[in-house]
């Protein structure tokens, strides 16, 4: 009898040990040595990348996402775009939500680098690759940021060239800035410095914030009502420059050599250049679609091959109205 009781106790102990072993979870499951997600152990059928943009209504960011999505589809990666609508707190929340969901990669067009550094560190700790597009985030693994000041210089030099050739060297300039977005302030600094250096007799009549088509129109109308001498308007993007163009097009007695210049060389901007008697003279191509493609590829390689930080080279070039009209598309 005593032996039976001992045997029964041993059997119960063995069963308990087996059950405990089955319930134990390996906390390392789901990552590899480089910190990247292992889709085989997590059970996910494919990688998932998220793009957290500044404002998806802006054609530039649409083009970035189009290229990003196209490359992801080619690589078998699912994608989603999240629109921060130029709100820093919303952008940070989207990063936190993406970490919680366990995505594999996050591309961010940051509004405020300092507001994102801590959550980017959390993403990296979770094995997520983070790419910074347009503006930098110093602790992101993939840097695809632009040189904002040099972009501004390209925009400003185009305006100065027009001033010297068409306006007798003296432009009265309205700069449509985005000085409320920390990362973009240097773009308008570059525009302003280039105009005053290359066309030194010019005057900066006003530098005011405008970050979309409606604001571009409203600010232009307001400034030109107070300063009808304005004959040059530059903007940080075509999205805003189109608003200025619509405002000027509705005015009477506009100088035939009036100048409006934007940035991003978007299709809507080019369409305005082609309109009859258009004063939309130039833009600056940042090749956003190509950037989206290259960033998706760099993120994929980070997760599947290198686990090493990388820089995605960006390119840009002035685009003139005459060339757009000649190209016919």
* CA 187 to chain CA centroid, nearest Å: 14
Burial string for 136-148 (b: 16+ CB within 10 Å, else e) reads bbebbbbbbbbeb
For domain 148-285, which architecture applies?
Answer: 3-Layer(aba) Sandwich (3.40)
* Residue 309: predicted pLDDT: 97
H-type alpha helices, 206-250: 213-226, 238-249
Residue 38 has pLDDT above 90, yes or no: no
d(CA 46, CA 58): 29
d(CA 71, CA 241): 30
d(CA 248, CA 299): 43
Kindly report the CATH number that applies to the domain delimited by 43-146+288-313. Answer: 3.40.50.2300
CATH 3.40.50.2300 residue ranges in the chain?
43-146+288-313, 148-285
* Residue 328: predicted pLDDT: 82
DSSP string, 45-75: SS-EEEEEES-TTSHHHHHHHHHHHHHHHHH
pLDDT tens-digit profile of 216-258?
999 999 999 999 999 999 999 999 999 999 999 999 989 999 9
From 213, 284, 285, select the one nearest 249 (Cα to Cα): 213
pLDDT tens-digit profile of 170-205?
999 999 999 988 878 999 999 999 999 999 999 999
Proportion of the chain above pLDDT 90, given as a percent? 82
Token pair belonging to 57: 């209504």
DSSP string, 70-97: HHHHHHT-EEEEEE-TT-HHHHHHHHHH
pLDDT tens-digit profile of 272-315?
999 999 999 999 999 999 999 999 999 999 999 999 999 999 98
d(CA 43, CA 143): 29
CA angle at 318 for the pair 215 and 218, rounded to the nearest 5°: 10
* Residue 137: predicted pLDDT: 96
pLDDT tens-digit profile of 231-242?
999 999 999 999
Residue 22 has pLDDT above 70, yes or no: no
d(CA 259, CA 241): 11
Q: Using alpha carbons only, how large is the chain's radius of gyration in Å?
A: 27
Residue 74 has pLDDT above 60, yes or no: yes
Phi, psi of 111 (to 5 degrees): -90, -35
Residue 56 has pLDDT above 70, yes or no: yes
* Residue 300: predicted pLDDT: 98
Mean pLDDT computed over every residue of the chain: 89
- Per-residue confidence band for 45, with pLDDT thresholds at 50, 70 and 90: low
Residue 17 has pLDDT above 90, yes or no: no
pLDDT tens-digit profile of 114-139?
999 999 999 999 999 999 999 999 99
């Amino acid at each position: 009898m005593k032996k039976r009781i001992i045997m029964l106790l041993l059997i119960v102990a063995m069963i308990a040990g087996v059950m405990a072993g089955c319930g134990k979870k390996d906390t390392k499951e789901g990552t590899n040595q480089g910190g990247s997600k292992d889709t085989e152990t997590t059970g996910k059928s494919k990688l998932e990348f998220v793009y957290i943009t500044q404002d998806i209504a802006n054609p530039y960011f649409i083009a970035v996402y189009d290229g990003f999505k196209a490359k992801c589809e080619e690589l078998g990666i699912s994608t989603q775009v999240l629109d921060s609508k130029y709100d820093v707190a919303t952008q940070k929340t989207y990063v936190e939500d993406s970490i919680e969901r366990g995505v594999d990669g996050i591309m961010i067009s940051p509004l405020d680098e300092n507001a994102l550094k801590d959550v980017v560190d959390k993403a990296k700790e979770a094995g997520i690759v983070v790419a910074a597009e347009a503006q930098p985030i110093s602790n992101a693994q993939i840097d695809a940021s632009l040189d904002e000041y040099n972009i501004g210089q390209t925009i400003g030099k185009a305006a100065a060239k027009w001033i010297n050739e068409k306006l007798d060297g003296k432009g009265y300039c309205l700069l449509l800035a985005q000085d409320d977005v920390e990362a973009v302030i240097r773009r308008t600094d570059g525009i302003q410095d280039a105009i005053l250096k290359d066309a030194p007799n010019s005057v900066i009549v006003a530098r005011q914030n405008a970050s979309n088509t409606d604001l571009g129109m409203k600010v232009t109308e307001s400034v030109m009502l107070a300063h009808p001498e304005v004959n040059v308007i530059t903007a940080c993007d075509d999205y805003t420059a189109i608003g200025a163009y619509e405002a000027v097009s509705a005015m009477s007695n506009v100088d035939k050599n009036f100048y409006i210049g934007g940035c991003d060389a978007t299709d809507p901007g080019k369409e305005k250049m082609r309109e009859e008697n258009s004063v939309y003279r130039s833009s600056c191509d940042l090749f956003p679609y190509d950037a989206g493609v290259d960033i998706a590829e760099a993120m994929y390689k980070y997760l599947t091959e290198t686990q090493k930080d990388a820089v995605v080279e960006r390119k840009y070039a002035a685009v003139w109205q005459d060339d757009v009209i000649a190209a016919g598309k």
